[in-house]
Chains A and B, each alone.
Chain A
Amino acid sequence: MDHKRVTLFAGHYGSGKTNIAVNYALLLAGEGKRVSIADLDIVNPYFRTKDSAAELEAAGVRLISPQFANTNVDLPALPAEAYSLVEDRSVYAVMDIGGDDRGAYALGRYAPMILAENDYRMAFVANPCRPLTRTPREALEVMREIEAAGHLPFTAIVNNANLAHETTAETVLSAAPYMEELSRLSGLPIYLTCAEARVAEALRGRVEPLLAMKLQEKYFALPEQRDKPFC
């Protein structure tokens, strides 16, 4: 898969943006690139990029996160250093955008610089198993709302079809017609398919390109769920 200097992951809330952004940043770092990741999510109170801080740091990825993330301060303020992602063109930048149009408003202030540089990929993360994006038309509606709020057009689609711990290879493969229809409606290519590592193993050779992901462990799995294999 080819990489742009700036890669942004946006989409419906709960579509998997944060896990994908973190794993994508780790992939870039694994290829020896200098990488910064910014958590621009101003709407989600709980499950955030910052939860992966230790792992990102160990891989040499610089994390830029709202000062009050994971605290009791419900303040949608972004740090000034987030500008470094659009100003310092020597690093690969990964941006985790908040869910829906409300989450994407914060993107608007960086959009003019991203457009001026014109070396970016704005990826729409799609999961057909989520209730408000069950059809490609509904996903397209969310896509347009995010573009209007964030002032940045999408350039690619990411297939992140999943049912959390119940995901199988079939979950991902059966989403193909949905993704193709969304691609047709939006005129955008399907850039990437993402899956939890064990599911990705079962998809190896059948779907390309594929991002095998390690998921954030902030999940209160029950004993019976822990024992259940992914595939």
Chain B
Amino acid sequence: MAERILMKGNEAIAEAAIQAGCRHYFGYPITPQTEIAAYMAKKMPKIGGVFLQAESEIASINMVYGAAAAGMRVMTSSSSPGISLKGEGLSYIAGSDVPAFVVNVQRGGPGLGGIQPSQSDYFQSTKGGGHGDYRMIVLAPASVQEMASLTVKGFNLADKYSMLSMILADGTIGQMMEPISFEDVAVEHYPKPWALTGTEGKRKHNIVNSLYLNPEVLEQKNFERYEKYKAVEASEVLYETYMMDDAEIGVAAFGIAARVAKNAVAAARAEGIKAGLIRPITLWPFPKQVLKDAAEQVKAFVSVELNMGQMIEDIRLATECRRPVTLCNRAGGMIPSPEQVLQSIHAAVKGGN
């Protein structure tokens, strides 16, 4: 067995990023993700990397933009209000088609909200967040091991498609500790001929920019970018299913909610209820097909979320509203209990809310 190490989710992200070749971290502290910055502050100087605590989130995301333009594997991390501040920079990075890796360890909102766990930035991360037409690859870990493996995946995908990728975690997975190993780390490398590395007088200079003076050219850029997004949707969807083979009630949940839901599904099965779980791992691209196929089989869906009902809209779109979808949720930093999810499963069996 590979060497096991006991890590916090936030630490797992930081260590995995280093193992993925990230040597540039720019951030600003905010609970509940500060251990990422603290780990980077301790480790980066020892391995010749850069840790920089910027004067604000806005400064840090623009430092990320700069390092990304120079072809570096670069990241930042924050929690909900901090990600809002980074929104403009994220849009610039997307509009410049450079790769960067971003972590959002969500806390309750809106506004300053609170410091307890939440999933209420689902819309923000999967539908935009910054201005303009753009997408980010959004990865939703449900364990400390996945915090590590999806971080490496996030860097790989960002470079592969030259775009933004994001870990959308929540405070609980950021703070909780589990034994993990780093045996599965497979770092991929992609050429970056567009990077601003210095011409040394030997080649034409590269330009990284999101400003286009000619609207026809800007339109064309958008069309090309969306072709790239189509390729991501075609080949990068990730999800897990649990007891879905003969399921009549399809529970859908991601991240920490999926752990709670899994216990509820197991409890429902013990009562003889044919429940199953679909856990999207990529929130964008959303696993539309598995939900569409499940709609052929299940009587109803239950969406379990730590928000007021955000992913539920994508479930309804993916299933073309062919089956009822009910919401089982807590908000503001609260987490549904397995008992609450089980009650929602009972209600779905009866065909009510």
Whether the Cβ atoms of A222 and B259 lie closer than 8 Å is yes
Contact with B along A114-138 (1 / 0, CB 8 A): 0000000000000101111010000
- Give the docked Cα–Cα distance between A219 and B262 (Å): 14
Residue of B nearest to A100 (CB): B38
Residue of A nearest to B242 (CB): A223
Whether B256 is near chain A, meaning CB under 8 Å from some CB there, is: yes
Q: Closest approach, in angstroms, between the C-beta of A45 and any C-beta of chain B?
A: 5
Q: A163 to B266, Cβ gap below 8 A? A: no
Residue pair A46, B8 in contact (C-beta under 8 Å) = no
Knowing that A72-B116, A74-B31, A131-B39 touch, tell me 18 more A-B residue pairs with CB under 8 angstroms: A14-B177, A45-B32, A45-B171, A46-B32, A47-B176, A72-B113, A127-B6, A129-B5, A129-B179, A130-B6, A130-B7, A131-B15, A132-B42, A163-B179, A165-B178, A221-B259, A222-B259, A223-B266
CB-defined contacts of A45 to chain B, threshold 8 Å: 31-32, 115-116, 171, 175
**Cβ A14 vs Cβ B8 within 8 A:** yes
Chain A residues 214 to 231 lying within 8 A of chain B, measured CB to CB, are 219-223, 226
Q: Could you list 9 examples of A-B contacts with CB < 8 Å?
A: A13-B35, A14-B177, A44-B175, A72-B108, A130-B5, A131-B7, A131-B39, A164-B6, A226-B263
User: A162: CB under 8 A from chain B?
Assistant: yes
B78 interface residue (CB < 8 Å to A): no
Q: Which residues in chain A, 162-220, are within 8 Å of chain B measured between CB atoms? A: 162-166, 219-220
Closest residue of chain B to A220, judged by CB? B259
Cα distance A72–B5 in the bound complex, in angstroms: 30
B11 at the interface (CB under 8 A from A): yes
Which chain B residues in 132-155 approach chain A with CB under 8 Å?
143
Identify which of residues 239-272 in chain B touch chain A, using a CB-to-CB cut-off of 8 Å: 256, 259-260, 262-263, 266
Q: B178 and A164: CB pair below 8 A?
A: yes
Q: State whether A220 touches B177 (Cβ < 8 A).
A: no
Taking CB atoms and an 8 Å cut-off, the chain B residues in 86-123 that contact chain A are 108, 113-116
Q: How many residues of B contact A (CB 8 A)?
A: 32
Number of contacting residues on A, CB 8 A?
Answer: 26
Closest 6 CB pairs of A and B: A72-B114, A163-B179, A129-B6, A223-B266, A46-B175, A220-B259
B156 at the interface (CB under 8 A from A): no
Nearest Cβ on chain B to A172's Cβ, whole angstroms: 13
Chain B residues contacting A134 (CB-CB under 8 Å) are 5
Shortest A163–chain B CB gap in Å is 4
Bits for A51-91, please: 1 = Cβ < 8 Å to B, else 0.
Answer: 00000000000000000000110100000000000000000
In the bound complex, residues from chain B placing their C-beta under 8 Å from that of A71 are 114
Most B-side CB within 10 Å, residue of A45, A129, A226: A45
Closest to B30 in A: A74
Q: How far is the CB of A17 from chain B (nearest CB, A)?
A: 13
SS class of chain B's interface: helix, strand, loop or mixed?
Answer: mixed
Q: Which residue of B lies closest to A223 (CB)?
A: B266
Check B162 for interface membership: any CB of A closer than 8 A: no
Whether A219 pairs with B115 at a CB distance below 8 angstroms is: no
Contact with B along A11-43 (1 / 0, CB 8 A): 001100000000000000000000000000000
Q: B333: CB under 8 A from chain A? A: yes
Known: A46-B32, A72-B115. A222 touches B6 (CB 8 A): no
Minimal Cβ-Cβ distance residue in A for B171: A46
- The verdict on B172 contacting chain A, using a C-beta distance below 8 Å, is yes
A166 to B178 alpha-carbon distance, docked (Å): 9
**B residues 210-262 in Cβ contact with A at 8 Å:** 256, 259-260, 262
A131: which B residues are within 8 A, CB to CB? 5-7, 11, 15, 39
Any chain A CB within 8 A of the CB of B4?
yes
Whether B333 contacts A164 by the Cβ 8 Å rule is: no
Decide yes or no: A223 and B6 within 8 Å by CB, A45-B115, A46-B172 being known contacts.
no
Write out, one digit per residue, whether chain B residues 152-182 have a CB within 8 A of any chain A CB (1) or not (0): 0000000000000000000110011111000
Are B32 and A222 touching (Cβ within 8 A)? no
Q: Which chain B residues (18-37) contact chain A, with CB distance < 8 Å?
A: 31-32, 35
Residue in A14, A74, A131, A163 whose Cβ sees the most chain B Cβ within 10 Å: A131
Q: 0/1 per residue, B309-353, Cβ < 8 Å to A?
A: 000000000000000000000000100000000000000000000
Q: Which residues of B contact A130 (CB under 8 A)?
A: 5-7
Are A164 and B179 interface neighbours, CB within 8 A? yes
Cα–Cα distance between A219 and B260 once the two chains are bound (Å): 10
- Quote the shortest CB–CB distance from B147 to chain A (angstroms): 13
Contact A222 B263 (CB under 8 A): yes
Residue of A nearest to B265 (CB): A223
Specify which of A47, A163, A223 lies most central, judged by the most chain B CB atoms within 10 Å of its CB. A223
Inter-chain CA distance A47–B178, complex, in Å, is: 14
| A131→B7 CA distance, assembly (Å) | 7
- Chain B contacts of A132 at CB under 8 A? 39, 42
Residues in B neighbouring A226, C-beta threshold 8 A:
263
Determine the distance from Cα of A226 to Cα of B6 in the docked complex, in whole angstroms: 18
Is A14's CB under 8 angstroms from B6's CB?
A: yes
Q: Would you give the shortest CB distance from A194 to chain B, in whole angstroms?
A: 14
Asked whether B115 lies within 8 Å of A74 as measured between CB atoms, the reply is yes
Q: Which residues of A contact B8 (CB under 8 A)?
A: 14
Residues of B within 8 A of A72 (CB): 108, 113-116, 333
- Which of A14, A46, A134, A226 has the most C-beta atoms of chain B within 10 angstroms of its own C-beta? A46
